[in-house]
């Protein structure tokens, strides 16, 4: 059973039970009060008759005549009956002989209300006679030393008929109210669960792989809050899935590129080795083959070292200590200058001294890779600027070249391992597309942020922002 159907059914059951129980209680309470009013009225009338008789008892004592007593009692009874239409009165003497009676039905043979009746007591009982309900009230009056049984009776059938009519009316109202309530609750239950159904449909769409699907609800109630939380959860799941897919793609590209990078030098080494093995000795050819094997072997060695650096960056057991970044760059000046001389590239050093929490060896690898990329991207006679900028305790390491630059569509992927903007140019310069990936990992170890700003054909600016620790003055070029 669906949730809206449960709301619909249980609300109707609750309404029927409560409405019927309350209505029955009201009808029965009203009937009881009306019946009690009739009983009180009958008792009051009986006492009235008794009071009237007590008033004439002194006269009975004067005349002391049974016939006179019967005549007076009959006259009193006639007057009372004429004033109370629908009332019945039955008076009998000690022998059970009828003194007065206006009943139009057969008196029951057994009358339980007479058990234990006394002069100062009025007993009553309700009896169903034919299709009527009669209220019997009985008491004994002592007149001139003789006992008379007074029975005042009232037809209370209208009271019971009124209860029946109330139940008949209630049934009609009950049916109408239930129909109206059923129609009303049908729309209410459907409306209440519409948001939940929308949540369910959205969850099914997301389960099928459309992680961008969202629930659109403007409700401010609990369901609206749940929908908002659902959207937040879906957003987190989508981000996680996207992140996992991106990682899987990167891993797959890494495997593809790594395989390709290994295949090229290995193919050359195997081909030249086989050629030298199957060809007669020729010094010139052998020297050429050995040179190729040597260069491809060095290329594999370089690739292996860079991969080791990249793998090493995955750890988190680096001890950062306070080092002067400017002094580290000074130590590397001669090496970097020699690298640039091969292409006759000029390096300008603009480095301020200042201390940071660093791992000295990793920082050297970072600077070496950034400068190596800048040199490879620069034309002969080009200029590269390596500088540090200190501001409010933070440090920016900049490497600026005037080389070929990086196209906009490649800039989001340059930190991926083996990613090469120009594969032919990179391979020709002994590159494998691992330099910036290693730099990114080193920046992460130092909680630094590395950014690249580049314009194709104009050059590239690489910035590494380190968190502030301490600064000192000084400039060295």
For 55, counting Cβ atoms within 10 Å of its Cβ (0-12 exposed, 13-18 middle, 19+ buried), the class is: exposed
Report which of 74, 84, 71, 82 is spatially closest to residue 150, judged by C-alpha positions.
Answer: 74
The pLDDT of residue 28 is above 80: yes
Range from 30-34, 203-207, 324-328, 410-414 carrying the lowest mean pLDDT: 410-414
The pLDDT of residue 471 is above 50: no
Domain range list for the chain:
3-164, 217-312, 320-466
Q: Between 67 and 147, where is the model more confident?
A: 147
Q: Distance between CA atoms of 145 and 61, rounded to whole angstroms? A: 9
Instruction: Report the pLDDT averaged over residues 392-421.
Output: 79
**pLDDT tens sequence across 157-198:** 999 999 999 999 999 999 999 999 999 988 888 877 777 778
pTM for the structure as a whole: 0.49
The pLDDT of residue 468 is above 50: yes
Buried/exposed 228-256: b ≥16 CB within 10 Å, e otherwise: eebbeebeeebeeeeeeeeeeebeeebee
**Does 3.30.450.20 match the CATH number of domain 3-164?**
yes
Is residue 173 within 8 Å of 37, Cβ to Cβ? no
Where helices occur in 208-282 by DSSP H, the ranges are 222-278
**pLDDT tens sequence across 314-362:** 655 677 888 999 899 998 888 888 888 888 899 999 988 888 888 887 8
Is residue 152 within 8 Å of 42, Cβ to Cβ? yes
pLDDT at res. 385: 93
Q: Is the dihedral of CA 51, 52, 55, 57 positive or negative?
A: negative
**Total count of residues recorded for the chain:** 477
Range from 8-17, 52-61, 450-459 carrying the lowest mean pLDDT: 52-61
pLDDT at res. 317: 64
The CATH number corresponding to 320-466 among 3.40.50.720, 1.20.1250.20, 3.40.50.2300, 3.30.565.10 equals 3.30.565.10
pLDDT at res. 161: 93
Greatest extent of the chain over all pairs of C-alpha atoms, in Å: 177
Range from 240-244, 246-250, 446-450 carrying the lowest mean pLDDT: 246-250
CA atoms within 13 A on the CB side of 475: 5
**pLDDT tens sequence across 108-150:** 888 888 887 777 788 899 998 888 899 999 988 887 778 888 8
**Confidence band of 417 (pLDDT split at 50, 70, 90):** low
The CATH number corresponding to 217-312 among 1.10.287.130, 2.60.120.10, 3.30.70.330, 3.40.109.40 equals 1.10.287.130
Q: Distance between CA atoms of 443 and 450, rounded to whole angstroms? A: 7
């Amino acid at each position: 059973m669906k949730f809206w159907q449960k709301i619909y059914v249980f609300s109707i059951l609750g309404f029927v039970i409560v409405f019927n129980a309350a209505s029955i209680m009201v009808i029965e309470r009203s009937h009881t009060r009306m019946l009690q009013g009739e009983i009180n009225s009958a008792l009051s009338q009986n006492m009235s008759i008794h009071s009237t008789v007590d008033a004439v008892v002194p006269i009975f004592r004067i005349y002391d005549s049974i016939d006179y007593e019967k005549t007076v009692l009959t006259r009193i009874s006639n007057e009372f009956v004429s004033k109370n239409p629908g009332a019945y009165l039955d008076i009998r003497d000690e022998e059970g002989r009828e003194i007065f009676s206006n009943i139009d039905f057969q008196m029951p043979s057994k009358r339980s209300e007479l058990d234990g009746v006394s002069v100062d007591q009025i007993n009553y009982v309700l009896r169903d006679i034919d299709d009527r309900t009669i209220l019997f009230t009985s008491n004994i009056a002592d007149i001139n030393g003789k006992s008379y049984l007074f029975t005042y009776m009232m037809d209370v059938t209208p009271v019971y008929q009124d209860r029946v009519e109330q139940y008949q009316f209630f049934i009609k109202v009950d049916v109408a109210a239930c129909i109206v309530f059923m129609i009303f609750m049908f729309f209410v239950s459907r409306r209440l669960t519409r948001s939940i159904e929308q949540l369910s449909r959205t969850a099914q769409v997301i389960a099928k792989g459309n992680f961008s699907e969202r629930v659109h609800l403007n409700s401010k109630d609990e369901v609206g809050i749940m929908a908002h939380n659902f959207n937040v959860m879906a957003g987190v799941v989508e981000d996680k899935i996207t992140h996992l897919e991106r990682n899987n793609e990167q891993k797959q590209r890494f495997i593809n590129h790594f395989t390709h990078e290994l295949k090229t030098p290995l193919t050359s080494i195997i081909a030249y080795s086989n050629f030298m093995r199957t060809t007669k000795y020729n010094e010139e050819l052998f020297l050429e083959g050995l040179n190729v094997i040597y260069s491809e072997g060095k290329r594999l060695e370089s690739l292996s070292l860079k991969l080791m650096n990249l793998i090493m960056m995955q750890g988190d057991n680096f001890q950062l200590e306070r080092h002067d970044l400017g002094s580290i760059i000074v130590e590397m000046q001669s090496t970097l200058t020699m690298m640039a001389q091969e292409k006759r590239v000029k390096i300008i050093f603009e480095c301020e001294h200042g201390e940071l929490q660093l791992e000295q060896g990793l920082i050297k690898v970072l600077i070496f890779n950034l400068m190596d990329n800048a040199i490879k991207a620069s034309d002969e006679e080009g200029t590269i600027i390596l500088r540090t900028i200190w501001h409010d305790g933070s440090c920016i390491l900049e490497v600026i070249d005037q080389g070929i630059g990086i196209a906009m569509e490649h800039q989001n992927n340059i930190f991926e391992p083996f990613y090469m903007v120009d594969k032919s140019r990179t391979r020709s310069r002994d590159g494998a597309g691992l330099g910036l990936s290693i730099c990114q990992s080193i920046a992460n170890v130092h909680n630094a942020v590395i950014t690249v700003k580049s314009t194709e054909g104009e050059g590239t600016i690489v910035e590494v922002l380190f968190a502030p620790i301490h600064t000192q003055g000084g400039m060295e070029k």
